């Protein structure tokens, strides 16, 4: 049975499922889920992420983490954690950069939070000679008493969302149904309780969407709470928006192109734009100081990516045209520079976050 057939049988037994449940099955079903069965970033993969474009991305994040550790007075026994490490490329680049900060690097325990057994094996291979203690968790869990230095790139966009659609009878949840051998969307007949819908959605037209990612919000709050209580810093980078519109953002991608969300569950990546306002609010509820979001281009430029590109070119470590292309893809507004954003959590006592000073100043 294909995953699509299994989902259809599940719906026949239990009734329509939420978009969040559909995403979870399509991405993580142990037998046929998208992440469970493949390396989407590998050669001939479905999409490419910033660390796979250039080592400079991870190098800049490594500098950011090291600076945050310095700023907090070099706290002892730090944990370095990455959520959703993909091929392990970002962590490898961060750890190589931290060789310039041996006092930080030598104390680190590295934790990789990965749901996919397949990708865990890829990460083990990438990081086998990293020379630091590594361990894997399938879910986020901070270690009590230890400061947490955390990065997540293109992780929050993969967390399941629920969708609600404005109708004349109220906001109805969008569900996945099974009919005539196919899957299709349909609205729940009864509206959701009004208390579920934030006031900011009040002006939505009929047919307007409200998307929410409960798992992402709970996770952001838990990370923030850990950092506020134990020290550390988190840098969350993803594609998304600062202020939600009324459109829907759930998308399926395969072979570098868009596909139908319900067409072949397990065969295409599913993701949704990250609501940075909701993550920032969750961060504030957790107690940490929240900085940003700022555009990825701004983050990387203020961390010195242009100088790094020049240094690599001078030392002929990477060809000049390839470097310039990578730099443009990562930083320019028309490429990833603006759509991708970065949000930082630091203990509330830390007044500034590396590279976020201008945004903090503007928000004050």
Ligand X SMILES: C[S@@+](CC[C@H](N)C(=O)[O-])C[C@H]1O[C@@H](n2cnc3c(N)ncnc32)[C@H](O)[C@@H]1O
Q: In this chain, which of 33, 84, 231, 354 binds ligand X, going by CB under 6 A? A: 84
**Shortest Cβ distance from residue 362 to ligand X (Å)?**
28
Which CB atom, from 53 or from 192, has the smaller least distance to ligand X?
53
Region binding ligand X by CB under 6 A among candidate stretches 12-20, 154-162, 305-313, 352-360: 154-162
Q: In this chain, which of 23, 119, 233, 312 binds ligand X, going by CB under 6 A? A: 119
**Shortest Cβ distance from residue 296 to ligand X (Å)?**
12
**Shortest Cβ distance from residue 242 to ligand X (Å)?**
21
Region binding ligand X by CB under 6 A among candidate stretches 81-89, 259-267, 299-307, 332-340: 81-89
Which CB atom, from 85 or from 297, has the smaller least distance to ligand X?
85
Annotate each residue in 39-78 with x if it binds ligand X (CB under 6 A) or - if it does not, as one string: --x-------xxxx--------------------------
Alpha carbon distance 32, 15 (integer Å): 21
Alpha carbon distance 322, 53 (integer Å): 10
191 contributes a contact to ligand X by CB under 6 A: no
Residue 7 near residue 183, CB atoms below 8 Å = yes
Kind of pairing, strands 162-167 and 170-179?
antiparallel
CA dihedral 59, 61, 65, 71 (to 10 degrees): 100
Tokens (6 digits) for 102: 């041996």
156 contributes a contact to ligand X by CB under 6 A: no
DSSP labels, 243-302? S--SS---EEEETTEEE-TTTSTTTSEEE--EEHHHHHHHHHHHTSEEEEEEEHHHHHHH
**Shortest Cβ distance from residue 295 to ligand X (Å)?**
17
Alpha carbon distance 251, 262 (integer Å): 10
Size of the site for ligand X (CB under 6 A): 20
Cβ atoms within 10 A of the Cβ of 203, count? 9
Name the packing angle between helices 305-314 and 320-331 (round to 10°). 170
Alpha carbon distance 260, 328 (integer Å): 30
Q: In this chain, which of 72, 116, 163, 230 binds ligand X, going by CB under 6 A? A: 116
In the 8-state DSSP scheme, what is residue 78? Answer: -
Which CB atom, from 139 or from 263, has the smaller least distance to ligand X?
139
Q: Output the CA torsion sign for 254, 260, 265, 270.
A: positive
Which CB atom, from 56 or from 165, has the smaller least distance to ligand X?
56
Q: In this chain, which of 85, 265, 292, 293 binds ligand X, going by CB under 6 A? A: 85
**Shortest Cβ distance from residue 123 to ligand X (Å)?**
8
**Shortest Cβ distance from residue 158 to ligand X (Å)?**
4
Q: In this chain, which of 29, 114, 173, 238 binds ligand X, going by CB under 6 A? A: 114
154 contributes a contact to ligand X by CB under 6 A: yes
**Shortest Cβ distance from residue 35 to ligand X (Å)?**
4
Q: How far is CA 59 from CA 71, 116, 156, 168, in A?
A: 18, 25, 21, 51
Q: How far is CA 51 from CA 40, 72, 211, in A?
A: 14, 27, 28
DSSP H or E stretch at residue 233? strand 232-241
**Shortest Cβ distance from residue 21 to ligand X (Å)?**
13
Alpha carbon distance 90, 59 (integer Å): 8
Which CB atom, from 35 or from 356, has the smaller least distance to ligand X?
35
90 contributes a contact to ligand X by CB under 6 A: yes
Residues 15-44 that bind ligand X (CB under 6 A): 35, 41
Q: In this chain, which of 55, 72, 97, 153 binds ligand X, going by CB under 6 A? A: 153
86 contributes a contact to ligand X by CB under 6 A: yes
The footprint of ligand X (CB under 6 A) covers: 35, 41, 49-52, 84-86, 90, 113-116, 119, 153-155, 158-159
């Amino acid at each position: 049975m294909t995953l699509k057939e299994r989902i259809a049988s599940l719906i026949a037994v239990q009734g329509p499922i939420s978009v969040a449940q559909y995403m979870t099955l399509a991405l993580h079903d142990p037998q046929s889920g998208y992440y469970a069965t493949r390396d989407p970033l590998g050669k001939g993969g479905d999409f490419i992420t910033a660390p796979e474009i250039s080592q400079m991305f991870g190098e800049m994040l490594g500098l950011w983490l090291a600076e945050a550790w310095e700023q907090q007075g070099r706290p002892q026994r730090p944990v370095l954690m990455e959520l959703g490490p993909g091929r392990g490329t970002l962590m490898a680049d961060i750890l190589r950069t931290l060789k310039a900060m041996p006092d930080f690097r030598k104390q680190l325990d590295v934790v990789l939070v990965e749901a996919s057994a397949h990708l865990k094996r890829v990460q083990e291979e990438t990081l086998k000679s990293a020379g630091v203690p590594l361990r894997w968790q399938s879910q986020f869990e901070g270690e009590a008493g230890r400061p947490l230095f955390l990065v997540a790139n293109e992780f929050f966009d993969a967390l399941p969302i629920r969708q609600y659609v404005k109708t004349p009878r109220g906001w109805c949840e969008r569900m996945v149904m099974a009919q005539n051998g196919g899957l299709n969307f349909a609205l729940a007949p009864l509206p959701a309780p009004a208390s579920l819908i934030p006031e900011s959605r009040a002006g939505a037209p009929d047919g307007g969407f409200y998307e929410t990612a409960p798992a992402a919000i709970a996770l952001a709050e838990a990370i923030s709470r850990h950092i506020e209580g134990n020290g550390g810093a988190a840098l969350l980078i993803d594609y998304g928006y600062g202020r939600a519109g009324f459109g829907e953002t759930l998308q399926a991608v395969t072979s570098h192109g868009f596909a139908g969300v319900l067409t072949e569950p397990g065969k295409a990546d599913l993701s949704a734009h990250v609501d940075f306002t909701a993550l920032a609010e969750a961060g504030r509820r957790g107690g940490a100081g929240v900085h940003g979001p700022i555009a990825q281009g701004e983050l990387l430029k203020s961390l010195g990516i242009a100088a790094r590109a020049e240094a690599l070119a001078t030392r002929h470590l990477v060809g000049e045209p390839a470097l310039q292309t990578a730099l443009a893809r990562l930083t320019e507004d028309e490429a990833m520079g603006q759509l991708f954003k970065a949000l930082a959590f630091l203990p509330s006592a830390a007044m500034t976050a590396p590279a976020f000073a201008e945004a903090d100043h503007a928000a004050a």
